Structure 1
C-alpha cells in the first residue's frame, strides 16, 4: 500500500484539498496550520496560487509537473483503481487527523465527477466529519444526524440555501431562521422539496436532521456554518490500489 511518509508536523483538524477541476478565478484562503493535499492535477493549481502542499496523491496523469520535481511528499497510485484521486486525498487527510475538509476544483466540468464529489461529502458526513466543495459562487456540503448553524450575517441581496435528502429517507428535518421555516419534516431522495430557501438579513439560521444525510448547497457569500452534534468515528480506509473483482474488463 503506497503511503506518505510520517507527518513532519502535528496533525491538523482542517484539511484543504486542491482538485484538478475548475477554479472560476475565485480567491482561495488556506487556514493557518491546515494540512494541504493536492489530488494529481490539483498540484498545478496550488502551485499557480503559491500554496505550499504537504502531500500530492494520484496516478500523476493530469499534473504538468513531473513527480520527481514536485516539492512535496507524493503518493503514487495506479491508473486503474476503485477510488478517484479526490477520495484518496480525503483518506490521507483523515488519517492525518482532519475532520473538516475544504475542497477546491471539484465542482463544474464533468458532471459525473461532480456527482462523485458530492457523494464524497456524504461519506465524510456519515463518519461525523464535514466536507465543503467550493466553486462557482456556491458551497456544497453534507450533514448526517446533526446540524449546521450559520451565524447571523448581512444579506444585502438574495442568498439561497437548498437542502436535499441523500439517504432514501431523512427524518426530523428542520430549517430555522431562514425565510421559510421547516419543522420536523420527512424528506426523501425522490422528492425535491428543499430547493431555494433564503438567508435573512442579520439573522442566524440552523439546518438539522435527526436521522439521515442531507446535501446542503448555499451561496458562498454566506459564512461557513458550525457543525453541531456530530461525532467523528471510524476512518475512511486506505487509498485504493486495486479494481473491485466485481468489475469485468473486456
Structure 2
C-alpha cells in the first residue's frame, strides 16, 4: 500500500502527486482535497484550522486533541508508517509558520525513506550509495550534509569530486542538472537532497 499524507498548504498539482495512493488528509487540507474532488481515505488532526467542520461528517476521521505533544502532520506520518513503508508527504512546506516547516523536515531523522513534495520541490534523505538524479523538470539541485559527508557529483554545472561537505555546509546549494540526469555518489555521510524548479 502506498500512502500520501497531504498537509496544508496543499500544492496545485496535488492530484498528480497523490495518484494511485491512499490519502491521509491533515487538518485544513481536507477542504482543499474536497475542492479538488480528491477522495480522502482518512482525515487526521484536531481540525482547529478547518473552517467548515461539517465536511468531516462523511469522512473517516482520527480526531486529535488540541493540546498534544505532536503535530497533526507528525501524527499522520507516524500512523501512515504503521501501515506502509511507502509514504510521501505532500505539502507542509509553505505557510506562515516556519516552525512547522522545520518540524516537517525533522521527520527525515526518524523516517529515512520519506519523500516530501510540493509544486516546486522534492526533498529526500540519502545515505551511502550511488544515485541517478533525474531532472524531470526540476532544474536545480541542492545538497545539504546532515553529517560530515564525502560525495562525488557529476552531470551538473558545478561538479564535485570526492568533496568533503562538513555538517550543515552550504557549498551544495543551488547547483543545476545540465542534461537529463546527474550522478551522485555518497562515499560517507548523510544528506538532504532538494530538487527545485521556479515555474
Q: What is the TM-score of this pair, normalised by structure 2?
A: 0.84
Tell me the residue number matched to 1:188: 166
**Pairing 1:123-142 to 2, within 5 Å after superposition:** 123-125=110-112, 129-135=113-119, 137-142=120-125
What is the Cα deviation at residue 153 of structure 1?
Answer: 5.1
Whole-angstrom CA distance in 2 between matches of 1:50 and 1:154: 26
CA contact (8 A) 2:89 2:115 kept: yes
**Pairing 1:74-113 to 2, within 5 Å after superposition:** 74-113=61-100
- Deviations for 1:174-219, whole angstroms, at most 9, x for unmatched residues? 2222222223332223421111111113x32133434433112212
- Deviations for 1:55-81, whole angstroms, at most 9, x for unmatched residues? 111112112242673433211222222
Q: Secondary structure at the match of 1:44?
A: helix
Q: Secondary structure at the match of 1:209?
A: strand
Whole-angstrom CA distance in 1 between matches of 2:176 and 2:70: 35
Whole-angstrom CA distance in 2 between matches of 1:61 and 1:186: 45
Tell me the residue number matched to 1:27: 13
Tell me the residue number matched to 2:37: 50
Structure 2 portions without partners, runs of 5+: none
CA contact (8 A) 1:118 1:141 kept: no
CA contact (8 A) 2:10 2:29 kept: no
Alignment of 1:214 onto 2:191: yes
- Stretches of 4+ moved more than 6 A in 1? none
Mark the CA change 1:49 to 1:181 in structure 2 (over 3 Å): closer, same or farther.
Answer: same
Whole-angstrom CA distance in 2 between matches of 1:84 and 1:107: 15
Q: How many residues align?
A: 198
Mark the CA change 1:186 to 1:67 in structure 2 (over 3 Å): closer, same or farther.
Answer: farther
Report the RMSD for the aligned CA atoms in angstroms.
2.7
Q: What is the TM-score of this pair, normalised by structure 1?
A: 0.69
Structure 1 portions without partners, runs of 5+: 1-11, 222-250
CA contact (8 A) 1:122 1:143 kept: no
